Structure 1
Amino acid sequence: MLPAVTVLPFRTIAGSPDHAILGDWLAEEACRSLSRSNLLSVISHLSARALDRTIVDVAMVRTQLAVDYCVAGTLRVSGGEIALDADLLDAESGRILWTRHFSGSHDDFLGRSADGVSEIVTSVGRAIADDAITHVSGRHLANIEDHRLLLAGVDLMHRPSLREFARSRELIEEALRRAPHSAETHAWFGKWHVLCVFNGWSTDPPKDTQRAIDCTARALDISPDSSFALSIDGFAQNNLLRRIDTARSRYDAALRLNPNESIAWLLSGALHAFTDEPDAAVFAATKARRLSPIDPFRYFYDSLSASALFAAGRYEESLALSDNSLRLHDRHISTLRTKIAALHYLDRDDEARIVAAEIIRRHPDFTVAGYLRGHPAGEHESGRRVAAALQAAGIP
């Protein structure tokens, strides 16, 4: 159910034969970074390397590697200057979805190679997600290819519109009908129900809470060693049932299985923030952001990272990440709460009251008492600090 992508070694068209190693290494690093995503199936660099490097034949790449997308490009080295041109191609149609150019002096280019790889990887993830969204728009479920179905559903799940959130449910349910034994798809559906309850969109919170737990339990029945399924089960346990010890054990298990599971680092960072462990919270959130450059829900990473920084008393940084998150998802109540709290402790109460008025307008039933009662941080000092800020800003 996931889009398959590969990164072909970047061909050296000017420079010495030794420079071919650089193009191969850059492609391998991009491939390795892409493989950290739970929304892409990445074909190994060794397989991509086995193809003929002299010319990119998209039909051959699709046939031999069974991919939906491929990244290809060229490397030119001349007079101490290096230039890299990379394209993302739809392997079925041959369309170029984007093109990127990187250049610089030899030393400067190598020094910034990690930034270049990160930009390529981020652009790949965003372009494939956007391509999936464009494709499913207005199409009947039966006419949507498998590899676009789940990615589009997950992307829409993390958008601010309730209509898009409802559409995401249709797409994920169809993905489950086609692949009922996909642990990751069950886990994503579990997350859909967690967000439905936590964002205040559920018409029956107890029922959606149980559905979330049922979905993550089913995912773990299918794949007990899935670090992603363990992470999402921990998310449900923590945010809906407030079983903090259970959630912590899920995140720890996920990271033992896969130390590069970015969502486990992110969610464990949030848990540390909620339970007054600020240093651990910032460490985990920072690691999560570094390990996940391509997920289409960057707002979620920024939001929980803002919570970690708030717990550490780093209010300016918390506010900056809250604003980043809200630019992508301006309805996310958790981010709005964090922004109010950061503004309050920066003595910017007039601005905090403006944000509080927005929360009251969009969530008229939201109260400080309800926050303390329902939020995992409610019984901890970090939650009480947020509650004091909300109260000072005019939340009843």
Structure 2
Amino acid sequence: MTAPDIFLSYNREDQAVAKRYADAFAAEGLNVWWDAALRSGEAYDEVTEAALRAAKAVVVLWSPRSVVSRWVRAEATIADRCKTLVPVTIEPCERPIMFELTQTAELSHWTGDAGDRAWLAFLNDVRAFVGREAAPVPIVEAPEPTPTKPGERGGAPSLAVLPFTNRSGLPEDEVFAFGMVEDLVDALSKGVNVRIISNSSTARFCRGALPDVEAMGRQLGVRYLLEGNVRRSGSDLRVTAQLVEAASGEVLWSQKFDRPLANLAALQEDLIEELAAHLGAQCYRAEMEQALKKPRDLTAWECTTRAMAAIRQFTPESIFRAIEEAAHAVAIAPDYGLAHALLADTSSMAYMYLSPDDPAEVARIRHHIDHALACDAENAAVLGHVADALNYTGQAAEGLRRARRAIAISPGHGYAHFVAGMACAMLGKSGEALAHLANFRQIEPHSPYHQYAFHWQATCFQNLGDWAAAEEANDCCLTLNPDANYATFQKAIIVHKLGRIEEARQLMIETRRREPAGTLAMWELRTARLNAANEALLAHLRALWTETDGMV
């Protein structure tokens, strides 16, 4: 089969749109492989997979239908591994978590106009993958970045919360709207992902006073603006909020929050917690995307965001990339506590999953832990990453103490709850672990770490002897990230315990196939480190390893 230029991945309900793209690419002289007839959805057809792996560019059409398609997600995952992924949004939707940081063209408006600038820019991207010269398209050059000064730490993005509008017209809702802004500023100021300016600075910007958001952002000296309104609807109150990038005026995120009016005080507290969690995550995600696009002259803060983006993928390659970015942050700002904490954390991940026992490496990681605490011992984010590093280097008891301190400083710090849950699971405190993990998911409903939270939840259920619940939690992890090899391994152990021996063997074969360098000794060491040398789990591992020898 001749390798196609483009493999088109789509949901069959979007076939009419897919045809539009296929025809447009063909009109540009590009060879497109696509065939709706093969999309029965249950398993890869050999021809389909061969075309997918051979294609020079895999164009994934994201829509509300394709983002929930396991077929499309699998194709996108393989393309991402092969470095041929060129995604495009054809209808507004929230992309799968693992693809959120992949630069994605926005063509929801495109109806086939060959002269559309957004289409031409996307076509240039596709041609770059295919290796054919693109037709010249006028490109506006971005200004040269301002060189980073030696030792520049950088900082969290700045945000202004504008006065909320009372759309109900009732005096009591005016008080509620004012209180929402005041409490939201207070809640966000306790976080680390965004720097908030005081609400006294924004009080003069009533709706309509300054319609130019770029000028407003410039006057306030912020990167992002949050605006919102409150409105009664029968016995409910609706709060609507949207996050706007000041420089472009682009709406980055918007959401509605509906609550019953029965208890107004509790309602406001509930809304503040949820809105602050969403907002902090959205600002940080936007900063990650910006940092990933920036090739040089990075601040230490930007290096830490790039490291965090790499951690999310949790592959050996991404972990080492995260270590490199964190080390860069330390080199830029040697007294930056968060950079040392993140370097300790990323190094501990590599140690836990990829290294034999090595006291010298543990001591090196401990050096960065101590340095981070010496620089900023009362910072919840620093404490969270320090706790994670302690967990991964066999010091979960101290990790739990540091995580608890982070929660005491900032009760709404979701990551601290996650790390506390992990420490409790390692220490056999399954009940407390499950409570922390539930708090984490509630505080950060859209966090990319949910897959890991489900993994630790499954571990807790294993420790409690509830293997059916363990399988359910592990399946949630695999739904969020089908390529999570640690979850595939865990599933193999679970179903072996449940007596589904052949399924367990196939899962272990898949685990070993994905990581051919992994040895029984390495998997035994990982299992012992993460599960306090649980002999029952080790017995299942050894049995499965023996049963699958020579089958990979």
TM-score tier (shorter) = 0.7 to 0.9
Looking at structure 2, the residues matched to 19 and 175 of structure 1 have their Cα atoms a distance apart, in angstroms, of: 46
| Structure 2 letter corresponding to 1:53 | C
Looking at structure 2, the residues matched to 7 and 72 of structure 1 have their Cα atoms a distance apart, in angstroms, of: 6
Structure 1 segments of 4 or more deviating over 6 A?
108-116, 202-207
- On the 8 A contact 1:237/1:247 being kept in 2, the answer is yes
- On the 8 A contact 2:168/2:232 being kept in 1, the answer is yes
Q: 1:90 to 1:385 in 2, by over 3 A?
A: farther
Looking at structure 2, the residues matched to 377 and 209 of structure 1 have their Cα atoms a distance apart, in angstroms, of: 16
Cα RMSD of the aligned pairs, angstroms, is: 3.9
Q: Which residue of the other structure, out of 304, 313, 327, is the alignment partner of 2:456? A: 304
- On the 8 A contact 2:390/2:399 being kept in 1, the answer is yes
Higher-RCO chain (CA-CA 8 Å, sequence separation at least 6)? 1
Q: Which residue of the other structure, out of 179, 185, 201, is the alignment partner of 2:339? A: 185
- On the 8 A contact 1:272/1:278 being kept in 2, the answer is yes
Q: Name the counterpart of 1:232.
A: 385
Q: Name the counterpart of 1:387.
A: 538
Q: Name the counterpart of 1:72.
A: 227
Shift in Å, 1:72:
0.9
Q: Which segments of 5 or more consecutive residues in structure 1 lack a partner in the other structure?
A: none
Q: Name the counterpart of 1:340.
A: 492
Offset from partner CA, 1:289-339 (integer Å, 9 cap, x none): 334446443333333233223323343443333233334444545433433
Q: Name the counterpart of 2:289.
A: 134
Q: 1:25 to 1:307 in 2, by over 3 A?
A: farther
Q: 1:238 to 1:110 in 2, by over 3 A?
A: closer
More helix by share: 1
The alignment covers a number of residue pairs equal to 390
Looking at structure 2, the residues matched to 248 and 84 of structure 1 have their Cα atoms a distance apart, in angstroms, of: 36
- On the 8 A contact 2:245/2:251 being kept in 1, the answer is yes
Moved more, 254-263 or 267-276: 254-263
Q: Which residue of the other structure, out of 213, 218, 223, is the alignment partner of 2:376? A: 223
SS in 2 for 1:73: strand
Q: Which has the larger radius of gyration?
A: 2
Looking at structure 1, the residues matched to 310 and 443 of structure 2 have their Cα atoms a distance apart, in angstroms, of: 22
Q: 1:165 to 1:239 in 2, by over 3 A?
A: closer
Looking at structure 2, the residues matched to 121 and 253 of structure 1 have their Cα atoms a distance apart, in angstroms, of: 21
Offset from partner CA, 1:258-295 (integer Å, 9 cap, x none): 55554443333323323333223223332333344464
SS in 2 for 1:54: coil
Q: Which residue of the other structure, out of 494, 504, 507, is the alignment partner of 1:352? A: 504
Q: Name the counterpart of 1:274.
A: 426
Q: What TM-score does the superposition give when structure 2 sets the normalisation length? A: 0.59
Residue identity (%) = 21
Looking at structure 2, the residues matched to 158 and 325 of structure 1 have their Cα atoms a distance apart, in angstroms, of: 13
| Structure 1 letter corresponding to 2:435 | F
| Structure 2 letter corresponding to 1:182 | Y
- On the 8 A contact 1:193/1:209 being kept in 2, the answer is no
Q: Name the counterpart of 1:153.
A: 307
Offset from partner CA, 1:202-258 (integer Å, 9 cap, x none): 699777544432222210121233444344334333322x23444444445545555
Q: Which segments of 5 or more consecutive residues in structure 2 lack a partner in the other structure?
A: 1-154
SS in 2 for 1:158: helix
- On the 8 A contact 2:181/2:199 being kept in 1, the answer is no
- On the 8 A contact 2:274/2:443 being kept in 1, the answer is no
Moved more, 130-139 or 25-34: 25-34
- On the 8 A contact 1:83/1:102 being kept in 2, the answer is yes
SS in 2 for 1:15: coil
SS in 2 for 1:199: helix
